[in-house]
Amino acid sequence: MPVKIRLQRHGSKKRPFYFIVVADARSPRDGKFIQKLGTYNPLTVPATIQVDRQRALEWLHKGAQPTDTVRRILSFKGVLYLKHLLRGVDLGLFDQATAMEKFTKWSAEHDAQIKKRQEEAQRNRRARRPMPGRRPERKAENGS
């Protein structure tokens, strides 16, 4: 049975919200699934992603194939990087402690980048909002 890690759409029309699920490749998009791994909300800036790293990693080790979008999401959350590091441990390139050290360093840098993006988006939203207590200026009309 080919197993895929893919998105399952929820939410109303033009307001998408997705569950990240493990499902049989032959089942329909919003149909039966094996396990729910997390959620993805593309409407927030930046997009809100919650993934159970351990379960996603287990399914990847079992041979589940992520779709293109889910592959990008897992890469963004560091699941694929962690799989890469654990493969290096299995091959004897370095030990488990070194792999976890590399992953925590990457994770800290990545979280700082995300925080910076969120603050930037919030600043941009505030800049676009009109000041309270001030009326917008009217354009002068030509009186003829």
The per-residue pLDDT for 121 is 86
| In a domain? residue 22 | yes
Expressed as residue numbers, the domain containing 87 is 3-128
Note the pLDDT tens digit of each residue in 39-86: 999 998 788 999 999 999 999 999 999 999 999 999 999 999 999 999
| In a domain? residue 134 | no
Mean pLDDT of 3-30: 95
| In a domain? residue 64 | yes
| In a domain? residue 137 | no
The answer to whether residues 79 and 51 touch, using CB atoms and an 8 Å cutoff, is yes
CATH (domain of 61): 3.30.1320.10
| In a domain? residue 135 | no
How many domains does the chain divide into?
Answer: 1
Matching residue, tokens 């979008």 = 69
> pTM score, two decimals?
0.81
% of residues, the chain, pLDDT over 70: 92
Distance separating alpha carbons of residues 32 and 17, to the nearest angstrom: 17
The per-residue pLDDT for 1 is 73
Do the bridges between strand 17-24 and strand 3-10 make them parallel or antiparallel, or are there none, so unpaired? antiparallel
